[in-house]
Structure 1
Amino acid sequence: MSKPAAIFVAAAMAVTAGCVAVIAAFGFGLSLPQALLAAFGALIAMTVIQLAFSRAAPQDSERLEDLDRVVTQLQSRIETLEARLTTLDGASSERARAATRPMVEEIAALGGLVNTIAKELAAQDVEIGKLRSAAAAPAMAAFQPRAAPEPPAAAPAPLAAPRVVAVPEAFDPVDALSTPGPVPTDDVGARLEAALATGRVEPHLQPIVSLPGRRVAHYEALARISEPTGVLAAAHFTPVAAARGRIADIDRLMLNACAPVARRLAAKGAGAVFVNVAAETLAGPEGRAALAAPFEGRAELARTIVLELTQAAFGRLGAEAAALLDRLRGQGVRFSMDGVEDLRLDPRDLSRRGVRFVKVAAERLLDPEAARGAAIHPADLASLLSRYDVELIATHVEEERTVPELLDMDVRLSQGALFGVPRPVRPAAPDEAPSARPAAATRLVPRAVGAR
């Protein structure tokens, strides 16, 4: 019992004893000595009872009070330590930032210098390639068959042949980023039909590299028409092919041409080849049959070919097209979703449908407006997709400064003119046996400009 409580109890017992004396004297008519004796007896009785209760009461209250006092002291000390640790953490972080700031600035300056040097070297390589081509032109002309002399004309007539895009001999950032000029469409249809009839629709491979090492992980096959004067890009003949209903034929030729290339890459231990498939191909029965035929009973081809459809094509698949894709997925074929504009993706549904790659333009990923309305921020999209075995590929990477931003977003695969432009491949000779072919013959050899 605390001291104030003991004093209160003693005062109460004294008052009670006084009341007993008054009641004994006036109530019972006892004399004063008898009344005092009665009061004293009552006081002794109350004291004995109080002592008995005090000894019988548990002593835990005092221990609880001691524990409460100790806990209060510990909490006070912990709060003091937390305040000191917060102060030390802020001071150490500020010191670390101040110490590393000059180093970060120097690294950024060195990165700018390296980028400038790379562009200068690329420009010089392009100039050297142009000089070599100009020097080799007379020699090449000497081996061409001479045509019959033509009568002199008063003035040379303007050429009506459309412009074509020449295959670059060396990587040129300027040429890679430039947009080819428009091609007249008056004879593109005839040239397209001739190319389809003679099998001159060829795949050009653009690398898909891993970051940050920039090693080639996969390739994407892009359709090109090979002509004596150069190469016609798909952007020039695809609208005409769509108008004539020949998109399915182009996809069929591309898939058949990419099959041996994919096998050669697999023999070298390289990755897969992405082959684009248009929605028009999946819409018709002939296109679906041509798409499914190469994979029948060829499990090795299913591992090395990735069929690529746009996000819009995935969104408007019919029942028969969806059934075909499900059947191909059962055979081990993987799919890639290209041209993604709407980042509101369901990775669980993509994984269920066999989509293992999602391609988003780097500009779209880094656009602050892309996060508006999406369930997840684009910076977390790669991590979310990887949980469901889907890899994010950043496309159209054209500047060096984009790479660090993609690495901050945990993007591990990238594609664009910065890492390589589409280049042709020379197929293996048809009479070459795979077992007797030397190791060097499996290399993908870029074809020179104008080569047959």
Structure 2
Amino acid sequence: MNRSSSTMILIAMGVIAASAAVVLYFQLGLSAGSALMIGIGLMLTMVTVQQPMERRRERAWIESRLAEIAAVAGDGEAEIEKIAARLNRLEQALPGRVREQTGELAAEVEVVGELLRQVTETLAELESTVDGRLDGVNARFGALERHMRQAEEPAGRRPRRGRPDDYPDEGRGGRPDDGRHDVSASMRNALFVPDADPALEREVERLIRDEQIELHLQPVVTLPQRLVRFYEVLTRLKGASGLVPAAEFIPLAEQGRLIAKLDTYQVIRSFQILKRLTQRNGDVGLYINLSAESLASSAFFREFQGFLSQNRAMADLVQFEFRQEALMEMGPLEIESLRAVADLGFHFSIDNVTDLRVDFRRWSDLGFRSIKVSADRLLGRAPLVTGDIHVEDMAGHLQRQGLTLIVDRVEQEAQVIDLLDYGLAFGQGNLFSSPRQVRPEVLGAAQAAAGAPTRPAPAGNERAGAARR
């Protein structure tokens, strides 16, 4: 019982005791002392009787509450026991179910691994066989080249010396079809470089001036997922008898001072293609080959810089690509041009890397973000100067310098397997996809959507740009 009820009962007992004393004094004629004593005794008697009754009621109420709490606790304990039993059953059944579900997958993975090992061994044997045959063929063409030079020397003819790889069919002209261009390079050195065909010169000049140029895209994929992250833009000329390879038209375009016009066409069309690509995937970027000496042309570069200013929104998706050989020959004017382009938010890439002992931090500060090294060079099958850094650690070293290492010219699955431990993030080559032509209707649609962009000046009277890959 609460405090107010107890107080009311005590007051009532006091009133009863007082009333009894008054009745005894006035009605029965008892003395005041006797009546008072009887009233007090009655009061004590009522208190004595009421207290045990009140305690019994409180005890009964507490016991009922405890019974309710015990019932609730019992229900909770029963639920906990049920949950514990279910967890025990699940714990006992889970390993068996996992083994049952993953057993077949593990067996399939084991079979695939065995097949992959067999394929790798077969490819290695085939590669060894092809290497032996190519060595023999190269030796024969070397002998043929020496005989041709010996035959030409008496006539007073001096063949032009080409670059180390003498413009293999890659870069602007596409990637090698089989990843081994030594034979074709020897043939071009011997057959095409010494004597320029005047008819071919005129045809190349006409094709470039008439913009008979095809653009091809080759993807740069993530490793090992092989998801397309970039495309490299490659150019080819559309001749009457077919496509003119880069080994033929790049040297002639240099001699005719038409590289700047080729750069103009490629840059404008590349940005149109990029706008079309970003409509479907906003994360895909482009590598655009650019002549190093075009940067030194004031007429070309002024318009080129203005064009880039109008397209700064796509700066994060574009990297202009230069050969390492051309970078090493750049002067102060070209370097300042690079800084001006980098100030607009655009970045650069280094291609055809053969020497990793350079100051890559300097190139990173200039805006370079990636370098491309061929798979054969990384695997030690072609010359590559690495210095003190082991080639397997080069990707991490370059990453700390702010550069991404990309392996290109990947032609065989065995190369990918051998490169798995190199920490490479991107790859490029015919294994993933050969260069694909950009359809004319795609270019037309992109040009219509982009409007009429400002064209960098061809700078036809300037020096021709350096050779592309």
Conserved 8 A contact 1:208-1:219: yes
Partners of 2:122 and 2:422 lie apart in 1 by 25
Task: Determine if the alignment matches structure 1 residue 304 to structure 2 residue 317.
Answer: yes
Task: Mark the CA change 1:213 to 1:189 in structure 2 (over 3 Å): closer, same or farther.
Answer: same
* Aligned 1:5-154 pairs, distance under 5 A: 107-113=113-119
Once structures 1 and 2 are overlaid, which stretch shifts more, 282-291 or 265-274?
A: 282-291
Partners of 2:378 and 2:119 lie apart in 1 by 26
Task: Determine if the alignment matches structure 1 residue 187 to structure 2 residue 199.
Answer: yes
User: 1:385 — aligned with what?
Assistant: 398
Which of 228, 240, 250 aligns to 2:252? It is: 240
**Deviation (angstroms), 1:202:** 2.7
Secondary structure of residue in 2 paired with 1:254? helix
**Deviation (angstroms), 1:379:** 0.7
Partners of 1:358 and 1:402 lie apart in 2 by 18
Letter in 1 for 2:423: D
Task: Determine if the alignment matches structure 1 residue 219 to structure 2 residue 225.
Answer: no
**Deviation (angstroms), 1:290:** 4.4
Secondary structure of residue in 2 paired with 1:367? coil
**Deviation (angstroms), 1:396:** 1.1
Conserved 8 A contact 1:208-1:415: yes
Letter in 2 for 1:405: D
**Runs of 5+ unmatched residues, structure 1:** 1-99, 118-164, 166-170, 436-452
**Deviation (angstroms), 1:408:** 0.7
User: 2:348 — aligned with what?
Assistant: 335
Secondary structure of residue in 2 paired with 1:267? helix
User: 2:279 — aligned with what?
Assistant: 267
User: 2:330 — aligned with what?
Assistant: 317
User: 1:230 — aligned with what?
Assistant: 242
User: 1:8 — aligned with what?
Assistant: none
Conserved 8 A contact 2:357-2:385: no
Task: Mark the CA change 1:285 to 1:228 in structure 2 (over 3 Å): closer, same or farther.
Answer: same
Task: Mark the CA change 1:349 to 1:268 in structure 2 (over 3 Å): closer, same or farther.
Answer: same
Partners of 2:351 and 2:205 lie apart in 1 by 27
Letter in 2 for 1:333: F
Residue deviations 1:88-129, cap 9 Å, x none? xxxxxxxxxxxx9xx989725335449989xxxxxxxxxxxx
Q: How many residues align?
A: 282
Which of 203, 219, 226 aligns to 2:215? It is: 203
User: 1:402 — aligned with what?
Assistant: 415
Partners of 2:316 and 2:269 lie apart in 1 by 16
Conserved 8 A contact 1:288-1:321: no
Conserved 8 A contact 1:202-1:254: no
Secondary structure of residue in 2 paired with 1:208? strand
Conserved 8 A contact 2:179-2:409: no
**Deviation (angstroms), 1:222:** 1.1
Partners of 2:435 and 2:319 lie apart in 1 by 17
Secondary structure of residue in 2 paired with 1:187? helix
Task: Mark the CA change 1:209 to 1:185 in structure 2 (over 3 Å): closer, same or farther.
Answer: farther
Letter in 2 for 1:413: F
**Runs of 5+ unmatched residues, structure 2:** 1-105, 124-168, 170-174, 451-469
Partners of 2:397 and 2:179 lie apart in 1 by 36
User: 1:288 — aligned with what?
Assistant: 301
**Pairwise CA RMSD:** 3.4
Task: Mark the CA change 1:115 to 1:375 in structure 2 (over 3 Å): closer, same or farther.
Answer: closer
**Deviation (angstroms), 1:355:** 0.5
Conserved 8 A contact 1:207-1:216: yes
Partners of 2:180 and 2:435 lie apart in 1 by 9
TM superposition score normalised by structure 2:
0.54
Partners of 1:402 and 1:321 lie apart in 2 by 36
Residue deviations 1:116-161, cap 9 Å, x none? 89xxxxxxxxxxxxxxxxxxxxxxxxxxxxxxxxxxxxxxxxxxxx
Which of 419, 423, 428 aligns to 2:432? It is: 419
Percent identical:
29
Letter in 1 for 2:232: E
Task: Mark the CA change 1:431 to 1:309 in structure 2 (over 3 Å): closer, same or farther.
Answer: closer
**Deviation (angstroms), 1:205:** 0.8
Task: Determine if the alignment matches structure 1 residue 356 to structure 2 residue 356.
Answer: no
**Deviation (angstroms), 1:388:** 3.3
Task: Mark the CA change 1:259 to 1:114 in structure 2 (over 3 Å): closer, same or farther.
Answer: same
**Deviation (angstroms), 1:401:** 0.5
Task: Mark the CA change 1:200 to 1:371 in structure 2 (over 3 Å): closer, same or farther.
Answer: closer
Task: Mark the CA change 1:297 to 1:406 in structure 2 (over 3 Å): closer, same or farther.
Answer: same
Once structures 1 and 2 are overlaid, which stretch shifts more, 290-299 or 351-360?
A: 290-299
Secondary structure of residue in 2 paired with 1:219? strand
Task: Mark the CA change 1:175 to 1:345 in structure 2 (over 3 Å): closer, same or farther.
Answer: closer
